[in-house]
Structures are given as structure tokens and as C-alpha cells.
Amino acid sequence: MNNRTNHDVAFFIVIQVLNLPSSKIEGSRQFKCKASKMELTITQPDDWHLHLRDGEVLQAVVPHSASSFGRAIVMPNLKPPITSTAAAVAYRESILKALPADSVFSPLMTLYLTDTTSPHEIKLARESGVVFAVKLYPAGATTNSQDGVTDLFGKCLPVLEEMAEQNMPLLVHGEVTDPDVDVFDREKVFIDTILQPLIQRLPQLKVVMEHITTMEAVRFVQSCSYGSVAATVTPQHLLLNRNALFQGGLQPHNYCLPVLKREIHRQAIVSAVTSGNKKFFLGTDSAPHEKRRKESPCGCAGIYNAPVAISLYAKVFEEAGALDKLEAFTSFNGPDFYGLPRNTSKIKLTRTPWKVPESFSFSFGDIVPMSAGETLEWQPSSI
């Protein structure tokens, strides 16, 4: 292994050789070994885009995220949506109560932007100390987005100006909902018609383009100044292209929004993420749905990846020959953009094959994870 030095990333790789024989080969400094494993120790990652739901689903899924991540930006698209600071505080308490007793996981709350959100609510959110961003869902764009924004510039401009004043990031689901726009083109059209004009009009507004899926999104984020626009990236959009929706028949557990795109777009996202560019950071968009709701005549959009996300990100970076850049993506770029301290705790990733369960069973039904039944090479654990 070549030695690598990176003063900006506190990263190291430990090679641990097990079961060495008692004698070495004469005349050689090499040792025979029966087995070997690679271990990576990195700063505790955070998830900057997470769906935890509520009720019994929240109780079921939050331990998976809490076991891998120190913090998470929690999405507000519940029924009813989290549109007020008071509702966000109450939702946070529900999450904390659902955590395992020894967990130190910290939920970072968001508000759901509507046509009637007021600038005063943004002030309350900032003063609360528990709300860290506001989420823009174009009405009808994804799960529980029916209460979303119908006219961003016509109805939300005073709120956006207050957000810029309060240094409150806007998190965007970057798709238009015009039925005349092809579903595979909706991210590009959103950039051209909404996001680019928004940045030009309010350059001081911090924006995160969530779960990017296209080379156009990559280029747009790269073109913006550091600290003003960033992007979260999911495991599914790094590993899967749109063929994964149809291989061997319709695959509902690979259906998410924004929908998977062509291979050229996947490659562009992988290249950007593994380059070390600080504008890109981890956001799983882990979105649990009960199995029967996925495997139905009108299946729900969303991939549940919380139990496997860290393993899958490690796979991507290893395949790109960029394991030395994994820690910045998972653990540094996100808090740096949000102006929050980096975690001080560590986790260990061990290159030990493990099989992903086919499903997780709960009292309300089963949830099928991403990569169900597959064998993954990297296994995370706390230190």
C-alpha cells in the first residue's frame, strides 16, 4: 500500500494481519498469513438528509440511523407536515424518546416550506436552537409533498429573504412538477428555471440541492461559490442507474424520487463525490415504507438504506480508489457547510463480508432495505 499524506483530513488506514505463522520465510521480510482484513477509522459520520417518519415506523427505524450517524437533518414531510417551530420541537422530542437508551444521536430539525410560511416563523426557528434548515418541496414532487410550494417567487420571497438574513439554509427537492416535463428531465429544468434564478436573486441564501441525480446538477453545484451552494448525495444515486428499476422485472424497492438516471449521470456524480470537492456530502435520503406499500399497484417512492449506507459509501470510494477522501465526504463537508462542529467520536469500518437481511420485520409489517440479500464488503462499528 502506498503511503498517503493529507493534512486536511484526519484519516488513517490500519492493516491488521491475523493468524501469522510462527516462522517467517528465510531470506525474506514477507510473512505468510491465513487471513487479513483492512480497517478504516474515521470521524463519526452525519446524515444530512434523513426520513424517520413518525409513530411505530419511527420507533422501528431510528435505531438503524442512530447506530451509524452522530447527527441527522430530519425531513419534515409527515402527515401533517412540520410547518412550525413548535411542531419541530415536538417531533424532536418524539425522536429522542424513540432512541435506544444509550444513544447520543442528535436529530437536527427542519421546517416544511409552504405558500403561507411567514418570516416570523423563520425567526422563531432560528431562535429555537433545534431547527437548522427549511425544506422546499415543490407541490406534488414526492412523498407527502401535496402541501408544498406552488409559486416560490410569488409567495415565498419574503421568507427566503428572512432565511438569508438568519443564515438559515434552504434545502431543495430539485424537480419541477409540470406534467409536460419528462420525469427524467425535471431536475435539469428545475435548475434552469428555478434554482439558477433564485441564486442570482438571493446570492447570500445558503442552498443545499438534495439527492442530486444528474451531471447538470453536478456542474451547477461546482459552478457556485463554496459556502453558498452544496449538494447531498445518496448511496442509490452513486451505485444504481435507471436499468436497476427494470432488471429481471419491475423492481419497486429501487424506485425513489428523484428517479434513477442514465449511467452517464451516475458516473458524473461518482466522479464529483470521490474527487474530494467539499461542496458534496453524505445525505442518505433513507425513506422507509412498509413492503406492501412498495409492492403494490401504485408503489411508494423511497429506498430504505439506513442499515447499509456507510457500507455502500465505502464501496463507492474503494472502487474509485479514493478511500482517503471518504472521511471528508461522510464527516467533514456537511458540518462545515452548516457551520457546526465536526464530531469528535470515531467509527471503525472493517473489510469483513456480511450479508444484508432480506427484510426487517416489525409489528406493522416488513421493511426491505437497499441491497437486500446481497453481501457487502465493509462493516461499520462504533469505537
User: Could you list the active site residues?
Assistant: 49, 51, 135, 173, 211, 285
**If we measure between CA atoms, which residue out of 244, 242, 219 comes closest to residue 231?**
219
* Beta-strand pair 360-362/346-355: unpaired
Phi first, then psi: give them for residue 295, nearest 5 degrees: -95, 70
Residue 381 has which C-alpha cell? 462499528
Beta-bridged to residue 15, according to DSSP, are: 38
DSSP 321: T
CA–CA distance, 74 with 61 (Å, rounded to integer): 13
- In degrees to the nearest 10, what's the CA dihedral of 219, 225, 226, 227? -120
**If we measure between CA atoms, which residue out of 318, 315, 220, 340 comes closest to residue 277?**
220
Residue 209 Cα to chain centre, angstroms = 11
Our separate counts of H helices and E strands in the chain read 14, 14
DSSP-assigned letters across all residues of 4-34: ---TTS--EEEEEEES--SSPPTT-S----S
Q: Is residue 306 exposed (0-12), middle (13-18) or buried (19+ Cβ within 10 Å)?
A: buried
- In degrees to the nearest 10, what's the CA dihedral of 315, 277, 240, 73? 90
Coil, strand, or helix at residue 382?
Answer: strand
CA–CA distance, 107 with 92 (Å, rounded to integer): 7
Q: Is residue 265 exposed (0-12), middle (13-18) or buried (19+ Cβ within 10 Å)?
A: buried
